Amino acid sequence: MKLTITIGLLLIAHLTFGQDRIQKIDSLLNSLYSKEKINGNVLIAEKGKVIYSRSFGLANETTKKKLNENSIFELASCSKQFTAMGIMILKEKGKLNLDDDITKYLPELSFYKGVTVKNLLNHTGGLPDYMQLMDSLFDKSKIATNKDIINIFSKHQPKILFEPNTKWEYSNTGYALLASIIEKASGMTYADYLNKAIFRPLKMKNTFAYNRRLSPKKIDNYAFGYVYSDSLKKYVLPDELEETKIVIWLDGVVGDGGVNSTVNDLLIWDRALYSNKLLTKEDMKSVFELATLKDGAKRNYGFGWGIEENADFGKIANHDGGWPGYVTFIDRHLTNDKTIIILQNHSNVTIPSKAIRSILYNKPLPVQKIRKEISITPEELQKFVGTYAVENEYEIKISLDKDQLFSQLTGQDAFRIFVESEMLFFYKVVDAQIQFEKNEKGEISNLFLLQNGKKIEAKRMK
Report the chain (462 residues): mean pLDDT per 10 consecutive residues.
31 43 96 95 98 98 97 98 98 98 98 97 96 94 98 97 94 97 98 98 98 96 94 93 94 98 98 97 97 95 96 95 95 98 94 94 80 89 92 80 86 83 87 89 90 80 75
- Dist CA 238 CA 196 (whole Å): 31
Pick the CATH number of 378-460 from 2.40.128.50, 1.10.3720.10, 3.20.20.240, 3.40.50.1100: 2.40.128.50
- Dist CA 283 CA 353 (whole Å): 28
| Phi (first) and psi of residue 245, to 5 degrees | -75, 0
Cβ atoms of residues 189 and 147 within 8 Å: no
Q: What is the CA radius of gyration of the chain?
A: 22
**Dihedral angle at the C-alpha atoms of 246, 250, 254, 255, nearest 10 degrees?**
-60
Cβ atoms of residues 267 and 343 within 8 Å: no
Question: Which pLDDT belongs to residue 322?
Answer: 92
Q: Where in the chain is the domain with CATH 3.40.710.10?
A: 76-351
Question: Which pLDDT belongs to residue 17?
Answer: 36
Contacts of 119 (CB under 8 A, 6+ apart): 102, 125, 126, 164, 165, 174
Question: Which pLDDT belongs to residue 401?
Answer: 87
Q: Which residues pair with 227 in a beta bridge?
A: 236
Question: Which pLDDT belongs to residue 4?
Answer: 29
Cβ atoms of residues 322 and 76 within 8 Å: yes
Question: Which pLDDT belongs to residue 461?
Answer: 86
Q: Which amino acid is located at 427 in the chain?
A: Y
Q: Is 186 annotated as catalytic?
A: no
Catalytic residue among 77, 171, 261, 347: 77
- Dist CA 276 CA 398 (whole Å): 44
DSSP structure string for 201-221: TTT-TT-EE--TTTS----TT
Question: Which pLDDT belongs to residue 462?
Answer: 64
Question: Which pLDDT belongs to residue 150?
Answer: 98
Q: Which residues pair with 55 in a beta bridge?
A: 41
Give the fold, CATH level 3, of 76-351. Answer: Beta-lactamase (3.40.710)
Q: Where in the chain is the domain with CATH 2.40.128.50?
A: 378-460
From first CA to last CA, the distance across the chain in angstroms is 39
Q: Closest Cα partner for 194 from 105, 304, 316? A: 304
Q: How far is CA 1 from CA 6, 34, 35, 61, 427, in A?
A: 9, 11, 8, 24, 15
Q: Closest Cα partner for 459 from 406, 382, 395, 400? A: 395
Question: Which pLDDT belongs to residue 393?
Answer: 62
Question: Which pLDDT belongs to residue 386?
Answer: 93
